[in-house]
Amino acid sequence: MPGTGAAHAEAIFENTPAAAALRSLDAARRAIGSASRPLAGESIALTGAVGRFLARTYVAQADLVPYARAAMDGYALRAADTLAAEVSPLLMPLSGSAYAGDPRASLEPGYAFTIATGGALPAGADAVVPWEVVDVRGDAIVLRVPLKSGAHVFRPGDDARSGDIIARPGEAITPGRAALLAAIGVSHVDVYRRPRVTIISTGNEVVDPTAEPAVGQIRDSNAAMLAAHIRRDGGTVTAVVRVRDTETAVAAALHDALRASDLVITTGGASAGERDYVKRAAASIGAAFAFSSIALRPAKPTGFARRGGALLAILPGNPAAAFVAYTALFGPLVRALAGDPHPALPSVQTRLQGSLHSKPGRHFYAFARVHHGRDGFVASVLANQCSSLVRTSADANAFVVVPPGNGRYDDGALIEAEIFDWASVDFRATDHARPQ
């Protein structure tokens, strides 16, 4: 059975949905955080590891690079042999060449070697004179200034010394870090395994995106939204399952998915209506709940449970509510399972454009468009915050986080925003040219 590292957090899970009723946003995040440990490591090719998180420490086994190299195209020589150039031009005969990849040669006193950038300095040489500052006369060069030892030379170990830590667990493999690992001789890396995630869409009304919906039916946009999120967050979508509204069918789908996955995410059937079967079905197959609802608008029916070594995220069916629940709560979980040491959404202080009311007893996550103006971040609240809409999440790049209460936030108020799409944050905008 897949392992999620959730067993240590068993104490946060209760037996039934009723025993894990409404939780605050902070309490829900703590519960998810306690179950968020990286998965086991696996070894993969470095060339295919960009974006993955390292599961072990890498140490340089030798100096990088272990020999002195030319930092310029020119001529390698002994600095001590050039002292006479301070008095008069010095003629130095050429006795060989050293290009990148050539075996290391030896330089006799009083002579110079033609050398290319990256070429190993001949034994005995300790400086390089650039070709543009000398004159060439046949098989010799004329030097007019003396050189200091080390001039235009990359010294041994200038990138790293033997024993230096090159990369640590939890660090992401970037193109630059991949290059550094390759430079110390690494071709395969130990990284945390990607979480295997199954998506279950419930509801008699949900049809495939390619279908022509009849009256009362809708295309399944939630599965596409979740799959895109999961892949971006470092997870692997192993299956997308659509289940009709019967407790037996939902229980069977959950049973199979939880056996094959690290995390199962459901949408729909999460409330307390006659055909909202997901929580009842989960309890019937032995899932234990950390919470079965959350004081959050628009995602109150969200639940979180565990069965064996697999985790279960229960999301509302309304598209905007499902988006909020995943992005604010379970996106960080997927990233943490994949090894990200800092999985939470980045939060910034913004100046509000628009107005919002807080909600007694619960947080309100309002969809917004954030840009960076002359005086900092500005959050423009989108006009329609209805939880049934798909368009709202497509137009937004952040949530404005309204804490519980009875207050009002007007134009210009400072308020927290959690940004989920940094790539679309406009840093060129001014307060007089706001993105629409």
Instruction: Taking residues 171-199, report their average pLDDT.
Output: 98
pLDDT for 251 beyond 70 = yes
pLDDT for 436 beyond 70 = no
pLDDT, position 1: 39
pLDDT, position 434: 46
pLDDT, position 53: 98
- Map out the domains of the chain with their CATH numbers: 7-40+194-337 (3.40.980.10), 43-64+169-192 (3.90.105), 69-154 (2.170.190.11), 347-424 (2.40.340.10)
Report how far Cα 51 is from the mean position of its chain's Cα atoms: 6
For 252, the enclosing helix (H) or strand (E) is helix 247-260
Q: What is the pTM of this model?
A: 0.88
Q: What are phi and psi of 55, to 5 degrees?
A: -110, 5
pLDDT, position 174: 97
pLDDT, position 274: 77
pLDDT, position 375: 87
The string of pLDDT tens digits covering residues 12-29 is 887 788 778 889 999 999
pLDDT, position 11: 57
**5 vs 207 pLDDT, higher one:** 207
The string of pLDDT tens digits covering residues 347-398 is 999 999 999 999 999 999 999 999 998 889 999 999 989 999 999 999 999 9
The string of pLDDT tens digits covering residues 35-76 is 999 999 999 999 999 999 999 999 999 999 999 999 999 999
The residue behind tokens 């995943």 is 326
pLDDT, position 430: 62
Burial of 115 per CB tally in 10 Å (0-12, 13-18, 19+) = buried
d(CA 291, CA 24): 10
Report how far Cα 94 is from the mean position of its chain's Cα atoms: 53
Six token digits for residue 363? 């947080």
- The proportion of the chain whose per-residue pLDDT surpasses 70, expressed as a percent, equals 96
For 123, the enclosing helix (H) or strand (E) is none
